[in-house]
Structure 1
Amino acid sequence: MGRFLSNVTNRIDAKGRVSVPSLFRSVLTERGIQELYCLQDFAFPAISVGGPDLLERYERQIASMDAFSPEANAMSLLVHGGGVFMKLDAEGRLMVTDFMREFTNITTEVTFVGRADHFQLWQPEAFYEAQKAARTGRGFTAARPV
């Protein structure tokens, strides 16, 4: 398989942790990913999660630009300033941090969304609305939560 597919909504526990769905953990294991790079998505109110290769992909793009250009600086600001490394605990849970909550408006539940080579963390209703908009061809135009 090797790809993150489908979507699953899980509840955040009292300590602020959420269980990563087993099908996503299987892909992480298959790919040998132990450290997760978590990035505030560029287009959606979601956190993109992948292995170090996700960060490397963005860094290759930045490296292909003029290092002093506004575009390279803006992308670095988003990729480096809007990203963190995290690890799953022994039970396959991820801590839902303020970094994630403030950007996504996640409160009590998280929807995990497969995106082939990475997955995303969404506030469930925001994912539902984005998926509905994508199906109707309207695109996603909702503002990020403040």
Structure 2
Amino acid sequence: MSGVVNRFLSNATNRIDAKGRVSVPASFRSVLADRGVQELYCLQDFIYPAISVGGPDLLDRYERQIATVDPFSPEANRMSLLVHGGGVYMRLDAEGRLMVTDFIRDFTGIDTEVTFVGRSDHFQLWRPQAFHEAQAAAREGRFGHRPT
């Protein structure tokens, strides 16, 4: 498959079913399959009320960053608290659904719907309104200083 396809792009909002599961968008499942990802690493975002979801390479990337500093330093400890203490492994079920656990709900405020947001090498789970507000703020910050 071409390298263009194996990125997480765009966004989609899906309802959580009565058993607490949400269908991951087909395009995102295709990227996971293309990358051979079976086990998902889920991490509380460092800035936004969102959960970042990727393969083991996402955890590896953060651990390589931690390894660049003294392991006994306050910085390494802070990074580990975020990367390890704020992370869990999850799997999709046979139908491509993800269980929306308390780990996800408590951090994001997600209730009945999940907005899936592509972030190139990973995707995020957002409460729909929070995503729209953050995207509008990012657009305003990026384009808000243009002459009218």
TM-score by length of 1: 0.94
Secondary structure of the structure 2 residue equivalent to 1:136 = helix
Q: Distance in 2 between matches of 1:24 and 1:35?
A: 14
Q: Tell me, yes or no, if structure 1 residue 41 matches structure 2 residue 45.
A: yes
Q: Distance in 2 between matches of 1:43 and 1:72?
A: 18
Cα displacement (A) at 1:28: 0.2
Secondary structure of the structure 1 residue equivalent to 2:52 = strand
Q: Which amino acid letter does the alignment assign opposite residue 87 of structure 2?
A: G
Q: Tell me, yes or no, if structure 1 residue 106 matches structure 2 residue 82.
A: no
* RMSD, aligned CA: 0.7
Cα displacement (A) at 1:36: 0.2
- Structure 1 runs of 4+ with >6 Å offset: none
Q: Tell me, yes or no, if structure 1 residue 25 matches structure 2 residue 29.
A: yes
Q: Distance in 1 between matches of 2:93 and 2:28?
A: 14
**Counterpart of 1:8?**
12
Q: Which amino acid letter does the alignment assign opposite residue 91 of structure 1?
A: E
Q: Distance in 2 between matches of 1:74 and 1:137?
A: 28
**Counterpart of 1:80?**
84
**Counterpart of 1:142?**
none
What residue ranges of structure 2 are gaps of 5+ in the alignment?
143-148
Q: Distance in 2 between matches of 1:76 and 1:120?
A: 20
What residue ranges of structure 1 are gaps of 5+ in the alignment?
139-146
Q: Tell me, yes or no, if structure 1 residue 89 matches structure 2 residue 93.
A: yes
Q: Distance in 2 between matches of 1:85 and 1:102?
A: 16
Taking every aligned residue pair, what percent have the same amino acid on both sides? Answer: 80
